[in-house]
Amino acid sequence: MPDYWLEFLKVALAHLLAVASPGPDFAIVLRQSLRHGRRAAIWTSVGVGTAILLHVAYSVLGIGLVLGSSSLAFAVVKYAGAAYLAWLGVLALRTKPKSAAVNADGSAEPAPSARAAWLTGFLTNALNPKVTLFFAALFLTVIDPRTPKFIQAGYGLWMALATMAWFVTVSVLFTRENVRRVFLRHGHWIDRMLGVAFLVFAIALAMGSF
C-alpha cells in the first residue's frame, strides 16, 4: 500500500517553502493590512487561499501540464498577471498622504468590501504563472500519478487552508496597534514602496526572470 503520509509530508514541505517566500501574495496582503486594516487583509488572504484550489483543480485534471507546456497559454497567463501586478503598483504609487486620503466629510478612506478584497487576493495568486508552474511541477514530480484523485484533492485542500492560515497570521501581525501607529505616520511612503515592489514583480514576470 502506498505511503500517502510520506507523500503528504513532501507536498506540505514544498508548499511551506513556496508560500513563505516573499512575493506578490505577501505584498498584497501586507498592503491591505497597512492600508485598509485587518478585515480587508483577512478577506484578501482568503482570496489567495481560494486561488490555490483553482491551481489544484486543473493540476488534478492534468490541465496544469498543458499550461506548463503550451507557450501560448503560458504567455497569456504571464502577461495578464504582469499587467495586473503593474496596475496594483500604479495604484499604490498614487497613494496620497493620510491627511489627503480622506473624504469630504473628514472620514477616513473607506476600506474595500469583503468581495473586493477577496477578489484582489484571488486574482493576485490566480494570475501568477509561477504558481501555475509550481503546481504543475508538484503534481508531476512529487505526487505519484497513481495516487487517487480524492487524496490529491485532500493535499490541495490542505495547501489552500495552510495558505489562508499563513496570510491571516500576516494580516493579524501587521494590523497590531503599534504597527498601525507607524503606518499612520508614514503610510503613503510604505504604500509607494510596495507599489515599486509590484512594478518590479510585473517587469520581472513579463521578462520571465521572476
**pLDDT for 71-119, tens place per residue?**
676 677 677 767 877 877 787 777 666 544 443 333 346 778 999 999 9
Find cell 501568477 and name the residue.
128
Is residue 42 domain-resident?
A: yes
Q: How is residue 156 written as a grid cell? A: 490541495
Report the pLDDT value the prediction gives residue 189, as an integer from 0 to 100.
66
Q: What is the pLDDT of residue 119?
A: 96
How many Cα atoms sit within 13 Å of 78 on the Cβ side? 18
Predicted confidence (pLDDT) per residue in 178-203, tens digit: 776 666 666 566 677 777 776 776 78
Let me know if residue 18 belongs to a domain: no
pTM for the full model? 0.76
Question: What pLDDT shows up at residue 155?
Answer: 93
Per the structure, the count of domains in the chain is 1
* Residue 64 domain boundaries: 25-101+126-207
Instruction: Find cell 521572476 and name the residue.
Output: 210
For residues 31, 37, 43, 46, the Cα torsion angle rounded to the nearest 10 degrees is 60
Instruction: For residue 174, tell me if it sits in a domain.
Output: yes
Q: Would you say residue 130 lies in a domain?
A: yes
With respect to residue 111, please indicate whether it lies within any of the assigned structural domains. no
pLDDT for 207 equals 78
Share of residues in the chain with pLDDT > 70 (%): 76
Does residue 165 belong to any structural domain of this protein? Answer: yes
**Quick check: is 114 in a domain?**
no
The answer to whether residue 10 is domain-embedded is no
Query: Which carries the bigger pLDDT value, residue 64 or residue 28?
Result: 28
Share of the chain above pLDDT 90, in %: 30
CA distance 62 to 60: 5
What is the DSSP-derived secondary structure letter of residue 140? I
- Which of 134, 95, 128 lies closest to 201, judged by CA? 128
Q: Is 204 exposed, middle or buried (0-12, 13-18, 19+ CB in 10 A)?
A: middle
Instruction: Kindly tell me if the per-residue pLDDT of 204 is higher than 50.
Output: yes
